[in-house]
Amino acid sequence: MAKPEHQRWTQDRVARELEAWFAKRCFEQWPPYSAFLADRRRPLYVALMRHGGPQHWAQELGVAFIARRPGPQRDEADVRASLRALFREHRPKRFPSERWLREHGPRGLVEQIRRSGGARHWARELGVPGRSPPDGPMS
């Protein structure tokens, strides 16, 4: 069974959605993932990753692409934005498992969580109960 049109992310739809969003926000360079989350555009981000990735689309849109290297401050800001967006959307009662985060979060989130304090730290920071018992090495 085919998905309804509003759920299909074709190459053309990704282009249209990115062009409209970039025009509205006046981006001159490729925005970080946290900007997609802040504007509730995670589905667009997932789709663009399937259709060429950020470097491809930056070139298509004529904006600079600056590779961002992970680091403590970058990880912390991205983790906070990613987790807040996921919590808004899914409203978990406990801090999610590593498996759930890999399925629902952006690529690399679990590793960023590990590098920036671990699951217990983020559960405390976001005011949600931790996993019990701890869920593997991420906790």
For residue range 95-136, list pLDDT tens digits in order.
999 999 988 888 888 888 888 888 998 999 889 898 755 544
- Cβ 80 vs Cβ 112: under 8 Å: no
Q: Are residues 48 and 15 in the same domain?
A: yes
What pLDDT is stored for residue 135 in this prediction?
47
Q: Are residues 100 and 122 in the same domain?
A: yes
Question: Would you call 36 exposed, middle or buried from its count of C-beta atoms within 10 A (0-12, 13-18, 19+)?
Answer: buried
**Model confidence at 60: pLDDT above 90:** yes
**Model confidence at 42: pLDDT above 60:** yes
What pLDDT is stored for residue 27 in this prediction?
85
For residue range 64-93, list pLDDT tens digits in order.
988 766 555 566 888 888 898 899 888 888
The string of DSSP letters for 22-36 reads: HHHHT-SBPPPHHHH
Q: Are residues 122 and 78 in the same domain?
A: yes
**Model confidence at 51: pLDDT above 70:** yes
Residue written as tokens 């405390």?
124
Q: How far is CA 68 from the centre of its chain?
A: 14
What pLDDT is stored for residue 132 in this prediction?
59
Q: Are residues 83 and 124 in the same domain?
A: yes
Q: Are residues 50 and 76 in the same domain?
A: no
Q: Is residue 47 part of a domain?
A: yes
Domain encompassing residue 42:
10-61
Cα(5)–Cα(78) distance, integer angstroms = 31
Q: Is residue 110 part of a domain?
A: yes
Total domains, the chain? 2
**Position with higher pLDDT, 2 vs 38:** 38
- Coarse DSSP helix, strand, coil percentages of the chain, rounded to the nearest 5 percent: 65, 0, 35
Cα(130)–Cα(33) distance, integer angstroms = 25
